[in-house]
Amino acid sequence: MTIPDDIAKWLQRHLSILCEDDLSIGHFSSGDIDSVSINTPARWQLSVDMIYRTLKCDLIEVFKYLNCHDRQSFLDAIRRYGPDNHIDIVLWNATLIYGTGKLEALVRSFFGTPSNGRDKLNPAFIEALEQIFAENGVPWSDKPLLPIMPVDASAPADVSR
């Protein structure tokens, strides 16, 4: 398992919730992770990378691209406007995502029901996710997959974790 335990537990919880509920993409910027503080560029970067990874692996889907034309314009937008940016608050708070059948099958194969995957870290589940990420060309890494590009170019982002 290469994903740090605190991020792995957060990811496991968030993905299991998406098997039962449609949520905004802001879902990926919420929750406790000791090594990546909330409301920081590092959390924004983690959120963008996880949204991208899970989309690329067909684990989540966007219900409707709000203020965007397609997946690429959506990915460009979340890299430019962070979850705490008030310029385009609709992007993170109203763009709904949901877990795909592939995600639900994966979660059920390890937990039975999605709610069982919320509290105790299952390393085998995380290893299966890491395998899916690698097979889809988006392996786990501390390096950004889609580097954030804040609209305020005079304020470079610090995405160190």
Does 150 map to a domain?
no
Tell me the per-residue pLDDT of 89-115, one tens digit each, with 9 for 90 and over.
789 999 999 999 999 999 999 999 989
Give me the number of domains the chain comprises. Answer: 1
Low-confidence ranges of the chain (pLDDT < 50): 153-161
Domain range for 87: 5-135
Does 48 map to a domain?
yes
Does 144 map to a domain?
no
The pLDDT assigned to 112 comes to: 93
Does 149 map to a domain?
no
- Which of these, 105, 97, 28, 89, lies nearest to 60 by C-alpha position? 97
The pLDDT assigned to 154 comes to: 40
The pLDDT assigned to 152 comes to: 66
Does 141 map to a domain?
no
The pLDDT assigned to 64 comes to: 87
Does 102 map to a domain?
yes
Does 64 map to a domain?
yes
| Structure-derived torsion over alpha carbons of residues 55, 60, 65, 70, reported in degrees to the nearest 10 | 30
Does 122 map to a domain?
yes
